[in-house]
Amino acid sequence: MIITSARVIVTCPGRNFVTLKIETDQGVYGIGDATLNGREKAVVAYLEEHVIPVLIGRDARRIEDIWQYLYRGAYWRRGPVTMRAIAAVDVALWDIKAKALGCPLYDLLGGKSREGVMVYGHANGTDIAHTVDEVGRYIEMGYKAIRAQSGIPGVDKAYGVGRGDMFYEPADAALPTETIWSTSKYLAHTPKLFEALRDKHGFDPHLLHDAHHRLTPLESAQLGKSLEPYRLFWLEDLTPAENQESFRLIRQHTTTPLAVGEIFNTLWDCKDLIQEQLIDYIRTTIVGAGGVTHLRRIADFAAVWQVRTGCHGATDLSPVTMGAALHFDTWVPNFGIQEYMRHTPETDAVFPHAYSFEAGLLFPGEAPGHGVDIDEALAAKYPYDPKQLPVARLEDGTMWNW
């Protein structure tokens, strides 16, 4: 089964998505997501200039060899651009293989380990009372797990609090929006949020929270300790994890479960975090970490250390990533949870998909492959719209982590 063409499709049905479509001489095609929020064109160029030319003429069935060729063969390894390009190829090839065999992707991976995939949604409020109401709304929609983020008094444009009820889109302007951050105000506010949430909604719903890399290790430990009474499902991205060792300090001080990894691209970014059992959930996902082929390696490694998966699933990960992730989640033995930020109806129309939501679970569907397609004619109606992620500064003007 020979690859005869590969094309990059850029579309913006409310937000930008980069999709790779690979076609074969047997008429079977596959698609993969290559979206890198705010840096889309870098991946487009990488695919068009350096990847597609070496794909044409290869046997689409040789997924592993093509993965190794693109990873080792580049000499320049890893990084978000390279690994997204590899992910797009890899997912398209798994899609092709499963379609050619007439089976859903999860069957190819080893079959179902569960019937449905527990997901968490995003409840965001301008203040504590609003966030408590929003969490209630998600409970009513059937969610078993909910991420709660709230505006912070005195902090303009706090992370996670967006416009719109269901669709938080942080990449909001052609040049980065400047936001202001205060760790002391955040640390004073956040325990009050979770106290109010448990008072109102009890301990049944799983609650999650994302600190979005804003804290030092010691501040992270303080937050983790202060939230222990509210028994979070996880506390995410407390501190930048370039230095994996920094999680040792956090771990020594708190039993709040820790999640990290949405910006990681390979096993090497989380090897120490996993094997020292410094985290409980690894957040790497299909598009971020080289596709199904590499994510499977990360998950298998994590299983040895009882670390479970918690795939990133914000809206900048296209329905193609969501579809592939759901097949992966349906199979992976050490599954933890899947993030699910709904896409807009325009996005869902451009990417018809087999997955569906019911009672807090997502189901990948039974269509052959990963079950997600692209309507190219519709996609062409939504041209690329340059948007970048915000940046953050401390109150004195110092650049900080957004």
Ligand X SMILES: O=C(O)C(=O)C[C@H](O)[C@H](O)CO
Q: Which residues sit at the interface with ligand X, rule CB under 6 A?
A: 37, 170, 210, 212, 262, 312, 314, 316, 339, 389
Joined tokens for residue 178: 């400047």
The residue among 317 and 367 lying less far from ligand X, judged by its C-beta, is 317
The residue among 24 and 315 lying less far from ligand X, judged by its C-beta, is 315
For the CB of residue 387, give the shortest distance to ligand X in the complex, in Å.
Answer: 10
Residue 303, contacted partner among ligand X, Mg ion, none, CB below 5-8 A by kind: none
Residue 179 backbone phi and psi in degrees, to 5 = -120, 160
The residue among 32 and 288 lying less far from ligand X, judged by its C-beta, is 288
Joined tokens for residue 338: 């899947």
C-alpha span between 88 and 287 (Å, rounded): 7
Best CA proximity match to 331, nearest among 22, 94, 96 = 94
C-alpha span between 378 and 29 (Å, rounded): 18
Asked if residue 210 binds Mg ion (CB under 5 A), the reply is yes
C-alpha span between 12 and 308 (Å, rounded): 33
**Contact predicate 148/193, CB 8 Å:** yes
Residue 170, contacted partner among ligand X, Mg ion, none, CB below 5-8 A by kind: ligand X
Considering only 52-60, 121-129, 202-210, 329-337, which stretch makes contact with Mg ion by CB under 5 A? 202-210
Residue with tokens 């760790």: 183
Asked if residue 339 binds Mg ion (CB under 5 A), the reply is no
For the CB of residue 160, give the shortest distance to Mg ion in the complex, in Å.
Answer: 8
The residue among 23 and 316 lying less far from ligand X, judged by its C-beta, is 316
Number of shown-chain residues binding Mg ion (CB under 5 A):
2
For the CB of residue 210, give the shortest distance to Mg ion in the complex, in Å.
Answer: 4
SS3 289: coil
Burial of 73 (0-12, 13-18, 19+ CB in 10 A): exposed
Which residue's Cβ has the minimum distance to Mg ion?
Answer: 210
Residue 392 makes CB contacts below 8 A (sequence gap 6+) with: 159, 178, 179, 180, 181, 214, 399, 400, 401, 402
Residue 213, contacted partner among ligand X, Mg ion, none, CB below 5-8 A by kind: none
For the CB of residue 232, give the shortest distance to Mg ion in the complex, in Å.
Answer: 14
Site string (156-195) toward Mg ion, x via CB under 5 A: ----------------------------------------
For the CB of residue 382, give the shortest distance to ligand X in the complex, in Å.
Answer: 19
**Contact predicate 154/185, CB 8 Å:** yes
The residue among 58 and 283 lying less far from Mg ion, judged by its C-beta, is 283
B/e letters for 112-128, b = 16+ CB within 10 Å, e = fewer, are eeeebbbbbbbbbbeeb
**Contact predicate 282/247, CB 8 Å:** no
The residue among 46 and 340 lying less far from Mg ion, judged by its C-beta, is 340
Considering only 67-75, 116-124, 204-212, 253-261, which stretch makes contact with Mg ion by CB under 5 A? 204-212
Best CA proximity match to 209, nearest among 186, 243, 233 = 233
- Residue 280 carries which DSSP code? S
Which positions are annotated as active-site residues? 159, 212
For the CB of residue 37, give the shortest distance to ligand X in the complex, in Å.
Answer: 4
Footprint of Mg ion (CB under 5 A) = 210, 262
